[in-house]
Amino acid sequence: MKDIDWKQIFLSGLIGIFVFIALIASTKIVRAESDSYEETISSGQRTYTRFCSVCHGNDAMGAGTFAKNLTKRPPDLTKLSANNENIFPWKRVYESIDGKNRQLAHGTPEMPIWGQTFDLSHWGDHQLEYADVIVRGRVFELILYLESIQQE
């Protein structure tokens, strides 16, 4: 008859408890990340409505109220993935919105450089050392929103 290895049983039980706790914690983290993701999309949508919809339209299809005054119609932002082999062009969209490398920005210089606008219009002097991080965050929120509205 075999002796019972209580140490092994105890360690196995302890590992089981840790795995169980980890599963519960990961479920809560996923739920929190999901809520956070939805909040990020919502924030990006607000940024879009405030800064982009006048040219690109509320539906992001390029027919905003100001679009008729431009020499080139703004692109349909709901087709960015469809026009890129069904892959959302993150880098190109980021560079277009940020505008720091104007050669990579889409369209003409009529497209505002939003990176500078976000930087200058929303943050006081006490946050200047973090301005670049804050601007990138706002641009990423906007891009996540644009990614969420893609159509085939």
Tell me the average pLDDT across 128-149.
83
Confidence of residue 105 (pLDDT cuts 50, 70, 90): very low
**Structure token pair of residue 39:** 């909040």
pLDDT at res. 31: 47
Question: How high does pLDDT run on average in the chain?
Answer: 76
Task: Specify the pLDDT at position 62.
Answer: 93
Q: What is the pLDDT of residue 44?
A: 93
Six token digits for residue 152: 């085939």
pLDDT digits (tens, 9 = 90+) for 19-28: 556 655 555 4
Sequence ranges of the domains in the chain: 40-148
Q: Is residue 58 classed as helix, strand or coil in its secondary structure?
A: coil
* DSSP letter, residue 129: G
Whether this model's pTM surpasses 0.75: no
Q: In the prediction, which pLDDT does 104 show?
A: 43
With beta carbons less than 8 A apart as the criterion, state whether 26 and 120 touch: no
**What is the per-residue pLDDT for 65?**
93
What confidence tens digit (pLDDT) does each residue in 41-90 have?
999 999 999 989 999 999 999 999 988 888 888 999 999 999 999 999 99
User: For the chain, what is the total number of helices (H) and then of strands (E)?
Assistant: 5, 0
